[in-house]
A and B are shown apart, each in its own frame.
Chain A
């Protein structure tokens, strides 16, 4: 068990480009979450998967954002036509069953120039 893994750790992109992040949760965890964190703020909920089903998307997640979790394993978060306001740390977390104890990855730091 190596914990929650996120790739890449850092991403620098130009405004208007598309980016995709990957998250590999702890293997037996059926729940997967994406959060976004900006400097000086706590993490904000973006979306939640139970197995392969995406059960909730935050209003923070505009149409430019899409997340998938094929076969209930790893997850990807794609941002299309990036904007400077998308610059943030994108955190993935996983948990098992109804246990709210979340295990977070180290995040992907996105900088949009």
Chain B
């Protein structure tokens, strides 16, 4: 069964305190690994797609990386507006490649 496990469940940071969120996934049949941001009462917002080990993508204070069995979302010098739930998801190769399997998310709180 496809699994995506995120850690920690919740993370509190002070403004400017860099950290990383972890996403581990079942390796078999991976087509792509996705990161989304979700604000309270809103749908998830796409951040990154990673397809192969060693790939990295950046957007403002966020950088996503992928290894053979996990992905990291690095947050550099976070600001209070970065507070949100960050979701990791995988897509399978093959016939069901449109279907995303999400983790439970990491709730990030950045205090001023």
Interface residues of A (CB under 8 A from B): 4, 31, 33, 40-45, 48, 56, 91, 93, 95, 98, 100-107, 109
Contacts and interface: CB of A to CB of B under 8 A. Distances in A.
A49 to B, nearest CB: 10
A100 B43 contact: no
Given A42-B87, A42-B89, A56-B96, A104 B44 contact: yes
A44 B32 contact: no
A32 to B, nearest CB: 10
Given A42-B102, A95-B98, A100-B31, 9 more contacts: A33-B98, A42-B4, A42-B105, A45-B101, A56-B99, A98-B97, A100-B98, A106-B43, A107-B41
Contacts of B75: none
Contacts of B44: 43, 91, 102, 104
A45 to B, nearest CB: 5
Nearest to B41: A106
A100 B102 contact: no
Given A42-B87, A42-B104, A104 B96 contact: no
Contacts of A42: 4, 87, 89, 102-105
Given A42-B103, A43-B102, A45-B101, A100 B87 contact: no
Contact of B98 (A31, A44, A91): A31
Contacts of B34: 100
Contacts of A98: 97
B43 A107 contact: yes
B45 interface: yes
A93 B104 contact: no
27 contacts: A31-B98, A33-B98, A40-B104, A42-B4, A42-B87, A43-B100, A43-B102, A44-B102, A45-B100, A45-B101, A91-B43, A91-B44, A93-B43, A100-B32, A100-B34, A100-B49, A100-B97, A100-B98, A101-B49, A102-B44, A104-B36, A104-B43, A105-B43, A106-B43, A107-B41, A107-B42, A109-B41
